[in-house]
Structure 1
Amino acid sequence: MTTTPETPGSGFGSTLTDQRTEEQTDYRYDAGDHEKFSHYAPKDKIMQAMIEGTPVQALCGKLWVPSRDPKRFPVCPVCKDIYENVVQNDDPS
């Protein structure tokens, strides 16, 4: 007696499912005077965003694509406040 291997979906009770997950990112840029400021965000995220051209989220919640020299603008007062009062206080060093 010889047997042949079953192909997917050919046996009783077998089903072939194809599950695909598409990941889609919804970038929503903030409006307002946030463009007048330099924002604080994690350095590695800023570097990645500059290379890939993808948005990064600042401490204040601003979503933007870094593309300009931050030294030319004043620091966002909300980012500065969050950094000084939350981030630095959490740093154990």
Structure 2
Amino acid sequence: MLDEQTEVQPEYTFEEGDEERFSHYVPKDKLMAAMVDGVPVKALCGKMWVPTRDPDRFPICPTCKEIYAKMKK
């Protein structure tokens, strides 16, 4: 049975609520205002929230990362 195993690469699926587990890209000027004033910001992926956590503790949102890469081209 072990001889029949093949290498499997997991496919990530983005499910409802997963955006809470990522850091998101937002304009720097809006991010600072949101953190100081508690105003919600909109990420590139469309998520609206008030940033309160250290973004370096989380992986980057794959949707934001993809949109940002397209913007740089």
Relative to the length of structure 2, the TM-score reads: 0.76
Number of the residue aligned with 1:52: 37
Number of the residue aligned with 1:70: 55
Point out where structure 2 has 5 or more consecutive residues left out of the alignment: 1-15
In the aligned structure 2, how far is the partner of 1:80 from the partner of 1:33?
15
Point out where structure 1 has 5 or more consecutive residues left out of the alignment: 1-30
Give the alignment partner of residue 81 of structure 1, picking from 58, 66, 69: 66
- Percent identical among aligned pairs is 64
Q: 1:37 Cα shift?
A: 0.1
Relative to the length of structure 1, the TM-score reads: 0.60
The runs of 4+ residues in structure 1 deviating greater than 2 Å are: none
Q: 1:33 Cα shift?
A: 1.5
> Higher helix proportion, which one?
2
Higher RCO (CA 8 Å, separation ≥ 6 residues): 2
Number of the residue aligned with 2:13: none
Q: 1:47 Cα shift?
A: 0.3
Q: How many residues of Structure 1 are paired with residues of Structure 2 in the alignment?
A: 58
